Chains A and B, each alone.
Chain A
């Protein structure tokens, strides 16, 4: 069964304290791995797409990497405005069906 697991469920960091979020997946025929950010009461906002093992993408303080079994979202020197829930999703099978993890809730303390 296709599955996406994110860890940790929640993470509290001091401002400037770097860390990583993990997304592991077991799907057949991975077509893409996606990272989204979701603020309370809002829809997910697209961050990155990764297609193949070894690929990396960066945006400001965020860097996403992909291996054959997992992806990491590295957060360097986070700021309070980075506080949000970060969702990982994989696209597999036909069409645009995405399988989402339950997310990591990140809190950055000033």
Chain B
């Protein structure tokens, strides 16, 4: 069974540009969540989608947005990039949103903003 797939794996963008990252969840998983990982802050929750609806959102500015498609694939977008947006962006999927349901991570997308 294929795991969570994220594309692209690495990218470099210029400050002020925008970026779109893609995530394909494990087959059959309908919940997708996104996290930002930086050396100083660890993993920070961005948002979660289930059946194309955003269920939860973390404490990030509106420049960070996401969506989920009918096939459960998800994208996140960051507009007007800042140097501080450089991070590893991780997507995780889960079969449900019930209590104690495990989330499984992809390998992440490394974003460098210059």
Contact = CB atoms under 8 A, between A and B. Distances in A.
Interface in A72-110: 87, 89, 91, 93-103
B60 to A, nearest CB: 13
Interface residues of B, number: 29
30 contacts: A34-B102, A42-B108, A43-B4, A43-B6, A43-B90, A43-B106, A43-B107, A44-B90, A46-B102, A46-B105, A49-B102, A87-B42, A89-B43, A95-B31, A95-B48, A95-B56, A96-B33, A96-B97, A96-B101, A97-B45, A97-B58, A98-B43, A98-B103, A99-B45, A100-B35, A100-B42, A100-B43, A100-B44, A102-B42, A103-B42
A66 B58 CA distance: 27
Interface residues of A, number: 25
Contacts of B106: 43
